């Protein structure tokens, strides 16, 4: 036990230190060297999520439910992974439109509705007030454990309750560092720095305490877990247990993810206090790491508590710290708990007070003529006073709640009730950011419905005895309306049950309202501004009202003070190269600037009302809305057309590139063809010319020599003729100008004719030709003469390449799978594998063309390929090593109408 005086002194010293840190943070920021402009401080400020609930309550829950405490931290991990998308857009939107709170955010999106802002504020206040009470309860309980005094005993020497003392000090802190300026959208560097410091304190103290408990009182994690199993506490290592199912695990994860995003204090630190959206990126993984570290020792410490004291307790960490006998550790743990509670109280009270001031009190004051509030020359002091009073009242109400009803509930229970309450903001927030057609009616119905269901299914049961007839039998004895088993849903724990029903009603209301009601003009404009914020932020809305610069200046001065009003207008004038003074008319941009500046002080809804009071004409009319919509659709259409054109251009470019490449290839082929043809023509021509000159110039040439030379002339002329014929054939076929004479015939007959035509050649060279014709082949439909030309060409080729002695050629025909097959095999030298494809190209002959050029034009196989392919067939060559060459082609069997059309 620690002396009570020491605990009080320590608490005061800590809080004074906190004031000093906050003051230092503010001074540094004013000097232009802000300490909060880095992602680590931003992450630590987000850790305000971890309150006394985390520090004390999680251990208490783990002592009864095992790992059931974890969804509260896994949920935020889930949502952190979405930060770069979701939070980035929220921050961007809030900065673009001068948003001051989550109520302001929703109100601004749904037509700057004061009613919606008020409803959100009421829900948030009702949900969060017990949560603040929970922190005070934790502080009070921790003092009781540390000093051994009863929690109800007053602070030593001061005669007041310690929880009240903490509430008063926290109120003072929040007033000093959370409401220094009228501009609620401004950052509070001192407060954020203090919160980051407190996050560091609570993490380090928990890690130190956990390490000492786990390794000092026990022999580490393994020892604790082993003892738990021996003591039949194995259920503490499980997820599921009595009153907690796997469905609860999932639902509480979702609930915590939602709460992490929309709790007023989380919105304050994550969105309003964000100084650089780029910090979100690093916070997306640093924050989950923080959560993992702070939970690392929760389960072993909880089990250690149960093992040593025989029962779970919210104050287990403190109790075990005392068991170590280390007074400094007890003090450290106490400070850790205090830091967790105070950070939450400070930020939550500032966030809620801003909402209460801007969305409840100021709108009422402005609309209540009897108060004459709207006519006052300077309202800045009043706005700040309302905000500061809000903080004090909130904390006193929190204390009152704690004293009246808060002592009877566990830390986690109260926290989850609050989570479920604020989770009602999630459907409208997501709709605000991503669904253009979501409207105010839907948001109001959904939020109100979800809120009422939450009150009925979760808050009401927490406030009445568990055995009351309402809970056990339902209202008027209607079992289906039992608050904790609505419509007979009994499988879930109360929090999951309330979440399922409240979200169902909320979403249903949002959907139904949005479908049944139409958006107002202003709602449509705001929907566009939020959903398309990245495209629209900074774009001036059309406007055709009348306003004078001086009227706007006076309006701004009433709420912001003359100095700030002048500065804002002067800055705008400088930026736009205009004069800020005189009776000049204000343009749309200036009116919007004034509205935005006012929104930063009194909220979007009130700012709209105030600006409307000095502007003649409507700020936004149906025509303007249509212009915006038209402009938006025109931009989208233009963008779509541009994309389409771009795609078409890309495709055309690709086609042109292909065509160009093809042209280059054709050009190259043409050159190659001309060179080859020239070469092929020159050879016989040279020969003809040489022998002709000899015959002309040598009159006394011997008769036999003359005959021999004439024979050469004839042969070379024939070769020339063949070559020219082949070239003509190839050209005609390739140009599609060949005359084809179609008929139906039997391939075997063509083969026989071809063999007969080349019989002389075979006989002359002593080549044996063997027929293996199938006989009775189905008819094919083609040009008979051309096909015979193919067979003759292949036979001639075979005859050319087989050896002089022992030459053998086998001709085969057959039919298979709807095609007629033809093959001619020889026992010649065969074809090297690399030439099996190229021999069908023009002038590609196997062998060195200079030394052993085969006889022929080099076009025969090209022509064969063209002819066979023209009739839907295929031709190829095979050459198994050492077994000569085989040329094969296949042609489709004629069908009754095949080719008839051609």
Partner 1 sequence: MARQRQGRLLGALLLLLFLLLGYPAVLVVEELQHHLGRPVLPVWVFGTWGLIILAAALILEQPRERR
Pairwise CA distance, residues 898 & 896, whole Å: 6
Number of amino acids touching partner 1 (CB under 8 A): 32
Segment contacting partner 1 (CB under 8 A): 76-84, 196-204, 372-380, 699-707? 76-84
Q: Which of 16, 160, 250, 651 binds partner 1 (CB under 8 A)?
A: 250
Pairwise CA distance, residues 879 & 825, whole Å: 9
Nearer Cβ to partner 1 (241/778)? 241
Binding string, 188-227, against partner 1, x = CB under 8 A? -------------------------------------x--
Nearer Cβ to partner 1 (296/609)? 296
Integer CA distances (angstroms), 512 to 196, 446, 501, 756, in order: 42, 9, 16, 91
Nearer Cβ to partner 1 (69/889)? 69
Burial of 218 (0-12, 13-18, 19+ CB in 10 A): buried
3-state secondary structure of 378: coil
Q: What's the length of the chain?
A: 902
Pairwise CA distance, residues 85 & 79, whole Å: 10
Q: Is 249 in the site for partner 1 (CB under 8 A)?
A: yes
Cβ proximity of 592 and 541 under 8 Å: yes
Q: Which of 45, 54, 142, 253 binds partner 1 (CB under 8 A)?
A: 253
**Mapped to the 3 state alphabet, what secondary structure does 615-636 carry?**
CECCCCCHHHHHHHHHHHHHHH
3-state secondary structure of 87: helix
Q: Is 288 in the site for partner 1 (CB under 8 A)?
A: yes
Binding string, 339-378, against partner 1, x = CB under 8 A? ----------------------------------------
Integer CA distances (angstroms), 791 to 47, 747, 786, 798, 841, in order: 88, 10, 9, 11, 18
Nearer Cβ to partner 1 (66/509)? 66
Q: Least distance (Å) from partner 1 to the CB of residue 338? A: 27
Q: Least distance (Å) from partner 1 to the CB of residue 495? A: 17
Q: Is 496 in the site for partner 1 (CB under 8 A)?
A: no
Segment contacting partner 1 (CB under 8 A): 73-81, 102-110, 136-144, 580-588? 73-81
Q: Is 491 in the site for partner 1 (CB under 8 A)?
A: no
Q: Least distance (Å) from partner 1 to the CB of residue 650? A: 17
Nearer Cβ to partner 1 (257/365)? 257
Q: Which of 7, 18, 22, 74 binds partner 1 (CB under 8 A)?
A: 74
Pairwise CA distance, residues 112 & 256, whole Å: 28
Q: Is 82 in the site for partner 1 (CB under 8 A)?
A: yes
Q: Least distance (Å) from partner 1 to the CB of residue 203? A: 15
Dihedral in degrees, nearest 10, Cα atoms 598, 599, 604, 606? -40
Q: Least distance (Å) from partner 1 to the CB of residue 238? A: 6
* Cross-sheet strand order for the sheet of 819-826: 768-772, 808-816, 819-826, 886-892, 874-878
Segment contacting partner 1 (CB under 8 A): 74-82, 197-205, 674-682, 846-854? 74-82
Q: Least distance (Å) from partner 1 to the CB of residue 471? A: 28
Nearer Cβ to partner 1 (299/777)? 299
Closest CA to 456 of 422, 483, 495, 424: 483
Q: Is 292 in the site for partner 1 (CB under 8 A)?
A: yes
Q: Is 474 in the site for partner 1 (CB under 8 A)?
A: no
Q: Is 231 in the site for partner 1 (CB under 8 A)?
A: no
Handedness of CA 723, 725, 727, 730 (dihedral sign): negative
Interaction residues for partner 1, span 85-124 (CB under 8 A): 85
Helix (H) or strand (E) holding 742, with range, is strand 742-745
Closest CA to 263 of 344, 167, 361, 188: 344
Segment contacting partner 1 (CB under 8 A): 287-295, 551-559, 638-646, 843-851? 287-295
Q: Is 240 in the site for partner 1 (CB under 8 A)?
A: yes
3-state secondary structure of 890: strand
Q: Is 296 in the site for partner 1 (CB under 8 A)?
A: yes
Cβ proximity of 210 and 329 under 8 Å: no
Pairwise CA distance, residues 395 & 389, whole Å: 10
Q: Is 299 in the site for partner 1 (CB under 8 A)?
A: yes
Q: Is 81 in the site for partner 1 (CB under 8 A)?
A: yes
Q: Least distance (Å) from partner 1 to the CB of residue 304? A: 14
Nearer Cβ to partner 1 (291/885)? 291
Query: What is the radius of gyration, based on Cα positions, of the chain?
Result: 46
Q: Which of 6, 10, 78, 168 binds partner 1 (CB under 8 A)?
A: 78
Pairwise CA distance, residues 420 & 451, whole Å: 9
Dihedral in degrees, nearest 10, Cα atoms 56, 58, 61, 64? -100
Which residues contact partner 1 by CB under 8 A? Answer: 67, 70, 74, 77-78, 80-82, 84-85, 225, 228-229, 234, 237-240, 246-247, 249-250, 253, 281-282, 284-285, 288-289, 292, 296, 299
């Amino acid at each position: 036990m620690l002396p009570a005086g020491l605990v009080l002194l320590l608490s005061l010293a800590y809080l004074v230190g906190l004031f000093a840190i906050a003051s230092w943070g503010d001074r540094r920021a004013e000097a232009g060297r802000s300490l909060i402009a880095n992602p680590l401080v931003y992450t630590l400020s987000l850790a305000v999520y971890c309150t006394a609930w985390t520090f004390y309550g999680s251990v208490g829950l783990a002592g009864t439910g095992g790992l059931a405490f974890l969804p509260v931290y896994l949920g935020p991990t889930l949502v952190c992974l979405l930060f770069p998308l979701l939070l980035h857009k929220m921050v961007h939107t809030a900065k673009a439109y001068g948003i001051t709170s989550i109520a302001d955010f929703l109100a601004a999106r749904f037509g700057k509705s004061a009613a919606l802002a008020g409803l959100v504020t009421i829900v948030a206040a009702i949900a969060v007030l017990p949560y603040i009470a929970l922190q005070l309860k934790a502080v009070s309980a921790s003092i009781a454990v540390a000093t051994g005094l009863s929690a109800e005993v007053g602070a030593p020497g001061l005669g007041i309750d310690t929880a009240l003392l903490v509430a008063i000090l926290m109120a003072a802190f929040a007033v000093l560092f959370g409401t220094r300026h009228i501009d609620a959208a401004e950052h509070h560097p001192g407060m954020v720095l203090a919160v980051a410091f407190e996050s560091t304190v609570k993490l380090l103290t928990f890690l130190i305490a956990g390490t000492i408990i786990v390794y000092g009182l026990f022999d580490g994690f393994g020892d604790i877990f082993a003892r738990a199993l021996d003591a039949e506490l194995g259920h503490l290592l499980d997820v599921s247990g009595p009153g907690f199912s796997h469905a609860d695990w999932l639902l509480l994860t979702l609930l915590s993810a939602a709460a992490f995003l929309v709790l007023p204090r989380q919105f304050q630190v994550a969105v309003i206090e964000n100084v650089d959206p780029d910090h979100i990126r690093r916070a997306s993984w640093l924050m989950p790491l923080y959560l993992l570290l702070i939970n690392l020792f929760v389960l072993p410490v909880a089990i250690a508590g149960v093992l040593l004291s025989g029962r779970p307790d919210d104050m287990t960490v403190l109790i075990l710290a005392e068991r170590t006998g280390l007074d400094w550790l007890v003090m450290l743990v106490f400070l850790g708990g205090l830091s967790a509670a105070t950070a939450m109280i400070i930020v939550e009270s500032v966030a809620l007070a801003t909402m209460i001031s801007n969305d409840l009190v100021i709108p009422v004051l402005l609309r209540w003529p009897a108060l004459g509030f709207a006519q006052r020359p300077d309202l800045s002091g009043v706005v700040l006073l309302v905000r500061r009073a809000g903080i004090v009242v909130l904390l006193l109400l929190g204390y009152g709640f704690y004293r009246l009803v808060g002592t009877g509930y566990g830390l986690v229970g109260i926290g989850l009730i609050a989570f479920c309450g604020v989770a009602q903001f999630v459907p409208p927030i997501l709709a605000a950011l991503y669904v253009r057609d979501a409207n105010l009616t839907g948001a109001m119905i959904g939020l109100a419905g979800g809120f009422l269901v939450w009150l009925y299914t979760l808050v009401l049961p927490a406030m009445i005895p568990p055995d009351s007839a309402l809970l056990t039998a339902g209202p008027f004895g209607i079992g289906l309306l039992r608050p904790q088993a609505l419509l007979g849903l009994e499988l879930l724990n109360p929090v999951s049950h309330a979440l399922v029903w409240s979200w169902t009603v909320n979403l249903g209301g949002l959907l139904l309202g949005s479908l049944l009601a139409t958006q107002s003009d202003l709602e449509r404009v705001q929907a566009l501004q939020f959903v398309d914020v990245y495209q629209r932020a900074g774009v001036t809305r059309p406007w055709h009202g009348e306003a004078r610069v001086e009227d706007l200046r006076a309006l701004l001065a009433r709420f912001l003070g003359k100095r700030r009003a002048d500065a804002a207008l002067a800055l705008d004038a400088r930026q736009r190269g205009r004069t800020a003074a005189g009776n000049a008319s204000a343009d749309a941009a200036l009116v919007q600037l004034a509205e935005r500046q006012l929104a930063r002080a009194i909220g979007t809804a009130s700012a709209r009302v105030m600006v409307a009071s000095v502007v003649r004409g409507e700020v936004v009319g149906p025509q303007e809305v249509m212009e915006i919509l038209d402009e938006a659709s025109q931009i989208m259409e233009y963008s779509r057309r541009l994309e389409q054109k771009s795609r078409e251009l890309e495709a055309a470019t690709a086609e042109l590139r292909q065509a160009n490449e093809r042209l280059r290839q054709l050009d190259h082929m043409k050159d190659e063809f001309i060179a080859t043809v020239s070469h092929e023509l020159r050879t016989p021509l040279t020969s003809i010319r040489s022998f002709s000159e000899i015959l002309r110039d040598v009159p006394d040439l011997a008769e036999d020599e003359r005959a021999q030379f004439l024979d050469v002339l004839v042969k070379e002329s024939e070769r020339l003729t063949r070559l020219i014929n082949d070239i003509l054939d190839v050209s005609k076929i390739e140009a599609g100008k060949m005359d084809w004479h179609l008929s139906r015939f039997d391939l075997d007959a063509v083969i026989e004719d071809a063999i007969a035509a080349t019989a002389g050649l075979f006989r002359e060279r002593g080549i044996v030709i063997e027929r293996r014709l199938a006989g009775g082949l189905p008819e094919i439909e083609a040009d008979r003469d051309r096909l015979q030309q193919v067979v003759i060409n292949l036979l001639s080729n075979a005859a050319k390449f087989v050896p002089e002695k022992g030459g053998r050629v086998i001709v085969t025909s057959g039919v298979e799978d709807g095609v007629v097959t033809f093959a001619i095999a020889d026992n010649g030298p065969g074809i090297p594998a690399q030439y099996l494809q190229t021999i069908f190209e023009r002038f590609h002959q196997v062998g060195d063309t200079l030394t052993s050029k085969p006889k022929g034009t080099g076009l025969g196989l090209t022509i064969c390929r063209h002819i066979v392919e023209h009739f839907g067939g295929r031709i190829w060559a095979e050459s198994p090593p050492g077994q000569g060459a085989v040329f094969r082609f296949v042609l489709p069997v004629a069908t009754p109408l095949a080719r008839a059309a051609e």
